[in-house]
Amino acid sequence: MRRVWVRELAGWFGALAIAVMTAAQVASSARSDLLFRDGDSLIVAMFGQSALSGEPLDWAMSSVLFLPESAVFAGLDLLLPVDVNSLLAINAVINMLALYGALRLVAGRRREDRAPVAWALLGLAAFCAIAVTEVSASRDALELASLQLTTTYYSATVVAVALSVGLVRRALDRASGIVGLLVALGATAALSTLSNPLYAAWAAVPIAVLLALLTIRSRQRSRLTLLLGVLLIGTALGFVGRIPLRAWIANTGAGYVQPARWADSLGYYGGLAADRLSTPGGVFGCLIVLVLIVLAVVRTTRAASEGSRFVAAVAWLMPVLVVIGAIALGTHAARYLQPVVFAPVLALVAPPRAGWMPLRPRSLVAAIAAVLLALGGILSIPRLAAAAEVADPDLTCVTDWVDASGRTGAGQFWTVRLPKLHLDDPAQLVQVDHELRGYAWLVNRRDFDVGEVTFLVEDAQTVPWNLPAPAIPDEVIDCGRYRILDLGDTALPLGPQRS
């Protein structure tokens, strides 16, 4: 028993080292914009801080509510006396650790003929190898593994999908006593769907299809049917649970579904794939995915148990169904295709066999790997910290001026969100459109109660203003990439809200 705990603890330390190295590498590239500065990426941090502030909450969210992500970030904010960027960096490491935990669950229980810890670590390493090849600052690039480091782009859903696969696998491997696994599966499906309906597309549909197919020839037909029922009921309960929260859901996501535009969608994703393959790193990352998918197909045909066959089949079926579904529904968002990179990794933990080399060489390799991981993790900590602490004098110029002004101003979505997050009182910057209407999207609608503003913040992303009344600034404050138009005693009324 003691040796088992030593192995498990070593696995977590190894995963921590890999997570820190990956976060440090991505944060040191242009991809850092997505971690620390992108307008979309900041929603969880903004919501978490808002919830902790005790202010009245009336948030306009997208179809995703970010419930697990916000709980993790708020917990870190309560426990750690560090700034927002440091919290985001720590959160990135935790997201990767959570993925390791899910992979460890999928790998199954420890037995004499299995090495689940080693294979789970290898799975995380493969996923992180893809992530470090992703260096674009664009949220629309087909660079999907590094999105797991953000608080916004469905990191909790990725973990929940892998957890669901692991729970089904454990239920298929276990001879009896699966009630707890069934409860955990139903709860995971319900909470994940409640927070993000994409869980239904990423997990519920592919897993349900596979379970249904397996019942045709399996000896565990009744168990497979039970698992299928629990998964579907949990997912349905998640959708029902969203009904009381509909006041916070500014967009149900129905508008993103445009089946008539499937050809445009195919061209869009094809263009993203071509861009990804235009760089050596992109080719390497895609090659890893391709090798894993081929491995998944091979292991599906050679599986020695129902659980192994299920995991191996999910590893290639899930990406196929998600890509087909995304195109058939006419979607245009790279982030919807994340199963393409994380699902194939499951092929590595489908049959976590031990004994692929003699014991002594295996122990030597494990020792060398442990030392290298420890050194890499330790050396990466200062690098990650430095990436999180990069000075931004333009941002500081804006926040210092707004904090000192004691007044309320406004700015457009892509301009205002970063300064808003870093203010002492985020309500001092109101999110508006170019006509000064309250832009109720991923923001607390109580901000609009102020009714009027006396300065405007703009940058290169700002659409030219079309103000409801003439406004000549008393002073223009130059803050590098930002400009503050100080209207002095002139107050501009906010228009009606839109989203």
Over the stretch 137-154, which tens digit does the pLDDT of each residue have? 998 999 999 999 999 999
Decide if pLDDT at 358 tops 70.
no
Helix (H) or strand (E) holding 498, with range, is: strand 495-498
Q: What is the DSSP letter of 443?
A: E
Buried b (16+ CB within 10 A) or exposed e, 148-165: bbbbbbbbbbbbbbbbbb
Tokens of 197: 């309906």
SS3 for 430? strand
β-partners of residue 374 are none
Does 2 have pLDDT greater than 90? no
Q: What is the pTM of this model?
A: 0.95
Local confidence band at 373 (pLDDT 50, 70, 90 cut-offs): confident
Cα 177 to Cα 174, 224, 306, 494, distances in angstroms: 7, 15, 17, 60
Q: What is the DSSP annotation of 10-76?
A: HHHHHHHHHHHHHHHHHHTSTTHHHHHT-TGGGHHHHHHHHHHHT----EEB-S---HHHHHHHHHH
120 band by pLDDT with thresholds 50, 70 and 90: very high
Mean pLDDT over residues 310-332, rounded? 96
Alpha-carbon distance 198 to 64, whole Å?
8
Q: How confident is the model at residue 472 (pLDDT cuts 50, 70, 90)?
A: confident
Q: What stretch of H or E contains 473? A: none
- What the block records as the tokens of 259 is 């089946």
Q: Tens of pLDDT along 185-235?
A: 999 999 999 999 999 999 999 999 999 999 988 788 899 999 999 999 999
Cα dihedral 147, 148, 154, 160 sign: positive
**353 DSSP 8-state letter:** B
The predicted structure's pLDDT at residue 363: 65
Residue 277 exposure: Cα atoms within 13 Å on the Cβ side: 11
Q: What is the pLDDT of residues 245-289, one digit of tens each?
A: 999 998 887 778 899 999 999 999 999 999 999 999 999 999 999
Whether 361 shows a pLDDT value over 80: the answer reads no
319-326 long-range contacts, Cβ below 8 Å, gap at least 24?
A: 319/293, 319/343, 319/344, 321/205, 321/206, 321/209, 322/201, 322/202, 322/206, 323/269, 325/201, 325/205, 326/265, 326/269
Predicted local confidence at residue 220, as pLDDT: 82
Per-state percent for the chain, helix, strand, coil, to nearest 5: 65, 10, 25
Q: What is the mean pLDDT of the chain?
A: 93
| Residue 142 neighbours by CB distance under 10 Å | 23
C-alpha angle 156-162-163 in degrees, rounded to nearest 5: 85
CA–CA gap between residue 80 and residue 72 (Å, rounded) = 12
Separation between Cα atoms, residue 295 and residue 351, nearest integer Å: 11
Cα 249–Cα 439–Cα 468 angle in degrees, nearest 5: 150
Q: 392: which 2 tokens?
A: 């931004």
Q: For the ranges 91-100, 171-180, 276-285, 456-465, which has the lowest average pLDDT?
A: 171-180
The tens digit of pLDDT for each residue in 173-194 reads: 998 889 999 999 999 999 999 9
Residue 55 has pLDDT above 70, yes or no: yes
Tokens standing for residue 440 = 């109720």
Structural contact between residues 448 and 494, judged by C-beta atoms closer than 8 angstroms:
yes
Residues 6+ apart with CB under 8 A from 279: none
CB count, 10 Å around CB of 127? 26
